[in-house]
Structure 1
Amino acid sequence: VTYDPKKIAYSDLLTLFWRNVDPFDAEGQFCDKGSSYRAAIFPGNAAETRAAQASKDYLAGHFKRDIATKITARSTFYPAEDYHQNYYRENPIRYKYYRSRCGRDDRLKAVWGKKN
């Protein structure tokens, strides 16, 4: 994914990000556990770092609990294997099954409410 500020504001990108993760899970996301599955934000500059931290602080205050999602400086990025690319489009039935069996949708509703 390449971020293009001409297409979406960073604040909107952060909102979309938060609504698609469990910000309280320090071990991974949903049924996928391990360091490579943990949610994280990788800002590209000081302004993005401040915006990311402000959004995290807001959520911590809103939920009145710590947020496990880390904000980490960018480093070398390694794309996932080919079979992971566009998986939801290439394998829609398997992806829907995964989302259901993994509890992703139910957990997102529990954290974010019905609007998610």
Structure 2
Amino acid sequence: MKTEKATFAGGCFWCMVKPFDTLPGIESVVSGYTGGDLPNPTYEQVCSNRTGHVEAVQITFQPDIFPYEKLLDVFWTQIDPTDAGGQFFDRGSSYQTAIFVHSEEQRQAAEKSKRELDLSGRFSKPVAVEIRDAKPFYPAEAHHQDYYKKNPGHYNRYNVGSGRAAFIEKNWGDQL
């Protein structure tokens, strides 16, 4: 079966794995770093906001089962698309949002999806998510992978405490 990659930065990568992890046609969701120029960065280096990397997830998916456009729909409902300074509790360039496209088809789909969200009137501010060319993706350290499964209590407290869960429910509850 044919697979493709999708790469999304939506703030803390811990919170971006679970929404995609159990969808049909998803083969893997890996937490990691992309967008910068330093090879094989560490969490500490990325969080210094000096490497140009963002925390992201890279999804290997079967487009015949779960098309890229549906992945974009899921992505939007997990973030505040109007926040250019990070996401929720997490601030700084390493937590900024972006869609990293792997093909011209993905670029066109991402631009169309962003435009439609901007025109929808759902938010009073413009959508600030950048659409960027995919760069090398570096998997994060092992303890960051599948964090929501390994540390469910801490993950749930973080998801709520950061403000993400309340924002999603308030702004996207009708889409979930």
Within the candidate set 82, 87, 103, 2:147 is matched to 87
Q: Secondary structure of the residue that 1:52 maps to in structure 2?
A: helix
Counterparts of residues 37-76 of structure 1 (less than 5 Å): 37-63=95-121, 65-76=125-136
Superposed displacement of residue 3, structure 1: 3.2
Gaps of 5+ in 2: 1-58
Partner of 2:77: 19
Within the candidate set 98, 101, 107, 2:158 is matched to 98
User: Which amino acid in structure 1 is aligned with residue 136 of structure 2?
Assistant: T
Superposed displacement of residue 85, structure 1: 0.5
Is the 2:111–2:131 Cα contact (8 Å) retained in structure 1?
A: yes
What is the TM-score with the length of structure 1 in the denominator? 0.91
Aligned equivalents of 1:107, 1:10: Cα separation in 2: 24
Aligned equivalents of 1:3, 1:28: Cα separation in 2: 26
Q: Secondary structure of the residue that 2:133 maps to in structure 1?
A: coil
CA RMSD of aligned residues (A): 1.5
Superposed displacement of residue 112, structure 1: 1.8
Aligned equivalents of 2:168, 2:92: Cα separation in 1: 19
Aligned equivalents of 2:90, 2:140: Cα separation in 1: 15
Q: Secondary structure of the residue that 1:2 maps to in structure 2?
A: strand
Is the 2:77–2:175 Cα contact (8 Å) retained in structure 1?
A: no
* Greater strand fraction, Structure 1 or Structure 2: 2
Aligned equivalents of 1:32, 1:7: Cα separation in 2: 33
Aligned equivalents of 1:109, 1:68: Cα separation in 2: 20
Aligned equivalents of 2:140, 2:89: Cα separation in 1: 18
* Greater helix fraction, Structure 1 or Structure 2: 1
What is the TM-score with the length of structure 2 in the denominator? 0.62
Q: How many residues align?
A: 116
Superposed displacement of residue 115, structure 1: 4.2
